Amino acid sequence: MTVASADHGVDRQEQTGARVWDLPLRLFHWLFAGGVTAAWGLGKFGPDVMTLHFWFGYAVLALIAFRLVWGFLGSKTARFSSFIFGPKALLAYMSKLPKRNASNWHGHNPLGGLFVFLLLGVIAAQAALGLFADPEDYINVGPLASWVGIDGARTALAWHGILARATLILVILHVSAILFYRLWKREDLVTPMITGRRKS
């Protein structure tokens, strides 16, 4: 069943049982979540020799590169153009957010789309800065640290740590949003990211 409506300048599509996310996007989502979690955990609690942390960081950067490509070549809901919204659409969506009924947005809603760009940007910057970081332990030196000199490498290390904390905050917000939609708006966002289809 498909119902399309315009509400305060926002085009909304309700599709129950329809495909929402394509397989490459779903694989990206779960691999990205696992890679970010592993890299963050190893960076915070891992061994002194952070080889695995580096490899998970490389994997995260590779996944982001894939997402950038898929944002132009993927299915409709995967494309960036499908979730770039203006301030009017964002405010209209947020004004209805407290209501208990499910939004049933087909793809990323305006708030979720903004969050995707923010999350990808912060994690991309955080992982990229790790390539230039040098903790001066002669072991865990980023492969590109020599390109920026010691001062640049120290700055990269400092911001790598700052953005790691920002990443944790964003992940907590993401999980909180999933719980909010599930418990308050009675909308399951997890199952479609597994099966690709919205529950009927």
Percent of the chain with pLDDT over 90: 82
Which token pair is 40?
A: 């963050």
Assess if residue 138 is contained within a domain. Answer: yes
Q: Look-up: residue for tokens 């907590």?
A: 172
pLDDT tens figures, 149-192: 999 999 999 999 999 999 999 999 999 999 999 999 999 999 99
Q: What is residue 80's predicted lDDT score, i.e. its pLDDT?
A: 97
Assess if residue 4 is contained within a domain. Answer: no
pTM of the predicted structure, to 2 decimals: 0.88
Three-class DSSP category at 137: coil
pLDDT tens figures, 32-47: 999 999 999 999 999 9
Structural domain harbouring 131:
23-190
- 23 pLDDT band, cuts 50/70/90, is very high
Assess if residue 153 is contained within a domain. Answer: yes
Query: How many C-beta neighbours within 10 Å does residue 8 have?
Result: 12
Residue 13 DSSP symbol: E
CATH number, domain at 164? Answer: 1.20.950.20
Assess if residue 108 is contained within a domain. Answer: yes
Assess if residue 195 is contained within a domain. Answer: no
Three-class DSSP category at 127: helix
Assess if residue 5 is contained within a domain. Answer: no
Assess if residue 116 is contained within a domain. Answer: yes
Our count of domains for the chain comes to: 1
Q: Which residues contact 22 (CB under 8 A, 6 or more apart)?
A: 74, 75, 77, 78, 196
